């Protein structure tokens, strides 16, 4: 029997609950932990996670990481929107808050490993032998995109038991073992903005943003906008103005306080640049390389050629991609393995 101790992050959802059960079945000594990250999120999560831990008969703890979450996730989220970019807070939270909290607690109690309920698999890349993420067997639920920023040390110390299962199987296991959250819905929105109204959240924190001009690609004035934080690349709904034809957000010029609009065709582009690279399955990009890439969480992988150019990663897609959005992540895949990723600029 394996008697290693594993600290598992429990969100109160079905995935992390079943992950805890699977680890226990594999012979690990499992300790459940819920991270308090912001003011109201943890109440339901804690109640559900505590109940699951009790059902599974595993020790359970709550750790307060509100300060770290505020600094690394919420402040970052607001700053990015202020700069006209559309951030992905989950990516930042995974690396700088969740994993750090779990590793810190692991050290504190002298445990061996940490675990989460993510749909991904951790393996060594067959060629480079680096720790990397392999896509989950259920592509519809695969979460490798949001995990690309994890470090070698973080990956080396982590188990992700649900990555080898389909969602239906996870729910079935939960039902069979009598976990009360077996049919709990998946969370869809950003955890600290439950109503999904990003701009209202930012304005409550920072005050109202000045209106400015909607302009076309040639700089011609079209109408007034309500403040740049209300818009993101590719957006059509919620512009608040009728133009007689469908118009989309092409880009945001923070200096001029302008939102640039275009018709749908202009949203398709082949080239993007990314910075803040994190190498996972590969160590570097030394020459032109071929990968498949995702530019947002629910984007279908697309073939591209990448190379380094002036310290930035240049990515040229074979086919034009719609609404490449600054602030989102570019994640490169070598087959089923995450090669590297970075932030689109």
What are the strands, taking DSSP E only, across the chain? Answer: 5-9, 29-36, 60-64, 113-115, 120-124, 131-135, 158-159, 212-215, 221-225, 248-253, 258-262, 268-279, 289-294, 302-309, 312-322, 329-334, 337-344
Residues 246-280: b if buried by 16+ CB within 10 A, e if exposed: ebbbbebeeeebbbbbeeeeebeeeebbbeebbbb
Tell how far CA 308 is from the center of its chain.
24
The pLDDT tens digits of the residues spanning 200-246 come to 999 999 988 999 999 999 999 999 999 999 999 999 998 989 999 99
Alpha-carbon 125 to chain mean position:
22
Residues contacting residue 207 through CB under 8 Å, at least 6 positions apart? none
What pLDDT, on the 0 to 100 scale, is given for residue 128?
Answer: 96
Evaluate whether 115 touches 7 at the Cβ level (below 8 Å). Answer: yes
Contact present, 318 and 303 (Cβ < 8 Å): yes
Taken in order 56, 61, 62, 63, is the CA torsion positive or negative? negative
List the one residue out of 34, 43, 40, 28 whose CA is nearest residue 16.
34
Q: If you average pLDDT over residues 52-72, what whole number do you get?
A: 94
Cα gap 151→345, rounded to integer Å: 22
Compute the mean pLDDT over every residue in the chain, rounded to the nearest whole number.
93
SS3 of 38, please?
coil
Which residues are part of the catalytic machinery? 93, 191
Confirm if 66 and 38 have CB atoms less than 8 A apart: yes
For 281-297, how does the pLDDT look when each residue is reduced to its tens digit (9 = 90+)?
999 998 999 999 999 99
Cβ neighbours, 10 Å, residue 150: 25
d(CA 321, CA 18): 37
Q: Is the pLDDT confidence value at 188 over 70?
A: no
Nearest to 162 by CA among 57, 267, 19, 50: 19
Backbone angles phi, psi at 85, to 5 degrees: -110, 165
pLDDT at 275: 97
Residue 190 pLDDT level (bands cut at 50, 70, 90):
confident
Which pLDDT score is estimated for 299? 92
Confidence of residue 274 (pLDDT cuts 50, 70, 90): very high
Alpha carbon 296 to its chain's center: 9
pTM for this structure?
A: 0.94
- Which DSSP string do the residues of 259-276 spell out, in sequence order? EEEE-GGGGEEEEEEEEE
Average pLDDT over residues 263-269: 97
CA–CA gap between residue 76 and residue 162 (Å, rounded): 30
């Amino acid at each position: 029997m394996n008697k290693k101790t594993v600290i598992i992050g429990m969100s109160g959802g079905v995935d992390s609950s079943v992950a805890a059960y699977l680890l226990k079945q594999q012979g690990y000594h499992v300790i459940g932990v819920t991270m308090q990250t912001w003011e109201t999120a943890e109440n339901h999560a804690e109640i559900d996670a505590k109940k699951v831990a009790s059902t599974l008969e595993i020790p359970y703890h709550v750790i307060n990481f509100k300060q770290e979450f505020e600094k690394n996730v919420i402040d970052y989220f607001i700053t990015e929107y202020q700069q006209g970019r559309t951030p992905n807070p989950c990516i930042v939270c995974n690396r700088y808050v969740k994993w750090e909290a779990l590793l810190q607690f692991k050290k504190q109690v002298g445990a061996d490993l940490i675990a989460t309920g993510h749909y991904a698999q951790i393996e060594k890349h067959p060629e480079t032998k680096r720790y990397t993420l392999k896509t989950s067997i259920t592509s519809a639920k695969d979460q490798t995109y949001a995990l690309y920023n994890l470090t070698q040390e973080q990956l080396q110390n982590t188990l992700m038991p649900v990555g080898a299962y389909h969602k239906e199987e996870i729910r079935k296991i939960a039902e069979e073992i009598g976990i009360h959250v077996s049919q709990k819905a998946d969370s869809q929105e950003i955890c600290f903005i439950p109503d999904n109204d990003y701009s209202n959240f930012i304005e409550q924190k920072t005050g109202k943003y000045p209106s400015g001009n909607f302009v076309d690609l040639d700089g011609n004035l079209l109408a007034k906008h309500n403040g740049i934080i209300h818009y993101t690349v590719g957006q059509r709904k919620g512009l608040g103005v009728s133009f007689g034809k469908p118009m989309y957000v092409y880009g945001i010029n923070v200096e001029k306080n302008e939102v640039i609009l275009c018709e749908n065709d202009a949203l398709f582009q082949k080239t993007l640049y990314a910075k803040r690279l994190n190498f996972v399955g590969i160590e570097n990009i030394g020459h032109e390389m071929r990968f498949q890439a995702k530019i947002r969480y629910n984007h279908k992988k697309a073939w591209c050629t990448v190379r380094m150019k002036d310290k930035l990663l240049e990515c040229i897609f074979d086919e034009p991609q719609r609404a490449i959005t600054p602030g989102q992540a570019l994640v490169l895949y070598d087959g089923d393995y995450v090669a590297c990723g970075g932030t689109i600029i």
